Amino acid sequence: MRPPMDKQLLDFFSDPTLVDLLEQVKSSNDILTLLTPRENQHSDLLAWCLNAREGHGQGDGLLKDFLLAVFKQSTQVEPGDKLYGRGLTRDFVRAWKPARIVTSSFAGAICLREYSLPKSGDGVGGRLDLLVVDPDNRILVVIENKAGARFRPGQLEGYLEAVQKSLLSRAAFKDFHVAFVAMDRNWDTSEEDEGDSNGDDLDGRWAKLDYSWLRAGAQRAEVAVRRGNQAAALLLSYCRAQTGFESEEESQISRKAQDLAVRYPGVVNEIKRVARELNRPEVWTPGLLSPENTDGQLLRLYLQHEEALNRLIELPPLHLLHAKLAEQFPALERKGEYELGRVKSAYCLPLEFDIPLADDFWPLFVRVRHLNVDATVGAKFRVRYEWHPSRVPDIRKAEICALVAKAFPAAANSEGRGRVLVLMDEMVEGVDAAVRCLKGLLERTEAGFRS
């Protein structure tokens, strides 16, 4: 049971964690904290990233990151085997494997924005978000980018046919390797079960990417900024905003904000209300303007430390969920068995029984996706419990599969399975419901292992 609001406010204002948060977070001169790029602006920034001659200081590193991501997301076992049919993109992936990508130079690549395709004989044309052409390496990459919006039915198929008829038919592009890439920062490209396309019926000849490939660039940009290269600051800001990448200092700030949000939910709601009223002078009251009144004190705190307080009241639902999970399961934080991003996270639940690993990948884990990212209220999550028997050493595989099957009968006789088996897939509304769901999965798994 939570203490009365007056007691919460008293404890909040005197909490050392709040003092630390206010001290660590200073006013930002980061333009991307003030502006939210629209779809076309995202494409402009991506074109800037992929151009080796721009001022971000990464050369062709970001284009290499992008091409490596295309390979990874198109490959399950054999290169390109996740793509449909014998298309151009699959041929591209088979020709451009990681070793070739890493050891090649893409300094001469050209990145075109809003390229209007010439109309073919039947009048087919179109406008491409991004077109990357490297004459030296003889590659051409068509990129369609959606920043949260959906592709129209048949849109990708139409673009592919238009490129083939009006561009690839030209002699200049003979023997080029060609890839078609559909990109959306809100996609969960890590979901491996067949037929799951995050709600979009997309042409299977296109590789599908989210923006997570920008994380490697963010890490390099962070190092460059620490060395005094301020030209890398814009790139770091953009990559951080799109991927949820955090430096160690940013992670400390997030943990402090999460801690306060979990312990003082009522105070956080009051700060949100006061912050909303700040931009509506017509609803101001004498109490809001009085330093003797609680509302007035919260308003002054917000005005004096707007950046820090925004970290608290605008905490992403996935981060709040993580904080509540860590509160209930401290071992989760200590072991570091989690991945936390902007729209998705993954957890290797802290079981008493340690499942042996055949490699560095978790065999049994929970994947959480924030579904309504752009909604202002009522976070909705998709919770999936995934079992990957191929990631358990062969000598223990039958034993571990039998244990998992005690809690989830669907896992029975799964030791010969090469792909993921989804043990549970559920939609939940609200952070607390998601916490209960994950807690239930942990308890059910533990009970099965103990029986």
Answer yes or no: are the C-beta atoms of 394 and 439 closer than 8 Å.
no
Residue 195 pLDDT grade (very low, low, confident, very high; cuts 50, 70, 90): very low
Do 58 and 217 meet the contact criterion of CB atoms below 8 Å apart?
Answer: yes
Determine which helix (DSSP H) or strand (DSSP E) holds 421, and give its type and residue range: strand 421-429
The 10 Å Cβ neighbour count of residue 373 is 17
Beta bridge partner(s), residue 112: 131
What average pLDDT does the segment 337-360 reach?
82
Distances (CA, A) of 126 to 113, 115, 156, 165, 167: 13, 8, 11, 11, 11
Domain borders along the chain are 5-26+245-313, 36-212, 317-450
Per-position DSSP letters for 390-442, written without gaps between them: GGS-HHHHHHHHHHHHHH-GGGTT-TT--S-EEEEEEEEESHHHHHHHHHHHH
Output the six-digit token pair for 33.
């904290």
User: In sequence order, what are the beta bridge partners of 116?
Assistant: 127
pLDDT number for residue 297: 86
Run of H or E residues at 129? strand 126-134
Residue 122 pLDDT: 53
Segment 77-112, tens digit of pLDDT? 788 888 876 689 999 999 999 999 999 999 999 998
Q: pLDDT by residue (tens digit) across 416-448?
A: 888 889 999 999 999 899 999 999 999 999 988
Structure tokens at 404: 């998992």
pTM tops 0.85, yes or no: no
Q: Of 99, 231, 192, whose CA–CA distance to 390 is shortest?
A: 192
Q: Which residues pair with 339 in a beta bridge?
A: 346
